[in-house]
Amino acid sequence: MIVADLSQVQVQEIILNEEEAKGKEFKSKSLTGKFPFLESEEGPLFESAAIARYFARRGGNSSVAGESAWEQAQIDQWIDFSTSSVLPHLMSIYRGTFHNIGDADSYNESVKSIKDSLKVLNTHLQGKDFLVGNKITVADVVVASHLLIPFQTALDAGFRKAMPNVGAWIERLIKNPSFVKRHGNIKLCQKVIKPNFPVKEQPKAAAKPAAKKEDDGEEKKEKKEADPLDNLPPSSLDLFNFKTFIVNHKDRKGEGMTWFFDNYDPEGYSLFHLQYEKYPGEGEVLYQTVNLMNGFLQRFDHFRKHAFAMHAVLGEEPNLEVQGVWLFRGKGIPLQMKDHPQFEYYKTRELDLKKEEDRQLVRDFWSAKPGEIVNGLKVQECKLHK
């Protein structure tokens, strides 16, 4: 219906009730018995994307359908891409968010798959307002319609900031008068609306003793659950004092790092190298790559108490990399980092300070300055997370 409006095609919309949908008259016209279904002068047509393309080609606004065979092929390309890469994951997000049906693993995998697809779109939309020919076409309408539920539930403001081309594209489309006429004013989510999946029943534990009463007869209130990292056994390395020491040391690369290596506690901390996995078209322009790095750090601004890092943009245009060396309290990567909406796009490798190459990597990253060579690449910009 959005495409029909854009293409200036007059369409009569009929809503069938359940009895009519099961009746012989409708079944005689529809091969699948599913909706939407178009009854046209030429004959019946089903599948919403096919109907949309038919309206675009028939209408008075030829640009919506593509003005050349090449543009029409590109339109088909993006519709097919969305049908194969986005649509299969929508039901898991829809059922999980609105009905709490499913499980967290399936939901998270669906969200990740859609995010991966949107990275492709983000790269393609660099310098473009729309998917084909830099004007709105049926491809934009179909792909955006597929993505409306994810953008209202799972693809939050942080993700859209990390994918600025896609974010601007979807904002542009939902404000289009034909979109508004059909969908109303759409509000994209600021934070993820997380499903509340039912917890699987666990074997019943033995009954706990009744809570002791205070003198005034009121039960003691349970303490608020603490961050598990706060409850770890004490470490010989005090992270706060180490940060103060290393950040202000005049010879960070020499004496500063030697002190760290001598006092590192491998039982109380973990070291990781992180490298952003680029999609085609990413890492080509310096300011965009710096924005990508800064967006990652800004989304992790709340988690400083138990982490320290140097994150950097390395290399030369058009082959830039985003990498970092991170110190975390505890063993392994903490939940706070795993919950970061961009963490899934990073490759991680745990570092072992018994290996000289890993010691050198930590030394080079944590003392890095623009213009120096780190991990074989020139430092363009670097930022401490402290």
234-385 carries CATH number 3.30.70.1010: yes
Mean pLDDT of 198-212: 57
Calculate what percentage of the chain has a pLDDT beyond 90. 61
Q: For residue 242, what are its two tokens? A: 């180490």
Residue 221 pLDDT: 43
Residues 221-280 pLDDT 10s: 444 456 888 889 999 999 999 999 998 889 999 999 999 999 999 999 999 999 998 877
Q: Report CA-CA distances (Å) from 162 to 35, 93, 289, 295.
A: 36, 21, 10, 6
> What does the domain layout of the chain look like in residue ranges?
2-183, 234-385
Mean pLDDT of 343-366: 93
Residue 342 pLDDT: 79
- Does residue 170 register a pLDDT over 70? yes
Q: How far apart are CA 277 and CA 296, in angstroms?
A: 13
Residue type present at position 50: A
3-state secondary structure of 84: helix
Q: How far apart are CA 371 and CA 46, in angstroms?
A: 60
* Assigned CATH for 2-183: 1.20.1050.10
- Does residue 219 register a pLDDT over 50? no
Residue 206 pLDDT: 56
CB 251 within 8 A of CB 311: no
Residue 347's nearest CA partner among 279, 273, 269 is 273
pTM of the model: 0.57
Tell the residue number behind the tokens 């030429």, with chain if given.
42
Residues 322-331 pLDDT 10s: 999 999 999 9
Tell me the residue length of the chain: 386
Residue 53's nearest CA partner among 43, 38, 34 is 38
Residue 211 pLDDT: 52
Residue 295's nearest CA partner among 340, 328, 349 is 340
Cα dihedral 353→356→358→363 (10° resolution):
90
Residues 35-47 pLDDT 10s: 888 998 888 898 8
- Does residue 202 register a pLDDT over 80? no
Cα dihedral 281→283→289→295 (10° resolution):
70
- Contacts by 300-305 with C-beta closer than 8 Å and gap 24+? 300/336, 300/337, 300/340, 300/385, 302/336, 303/334, 303/336, 303/337, 304/385, 304/386, 305/229, 305/239
Tell the residue number behind the tokens 């710096």, with chain if given.
290
> Please, where are the H alpha helices in 196-340?
239-248, 257-263, 286-298, 335-338
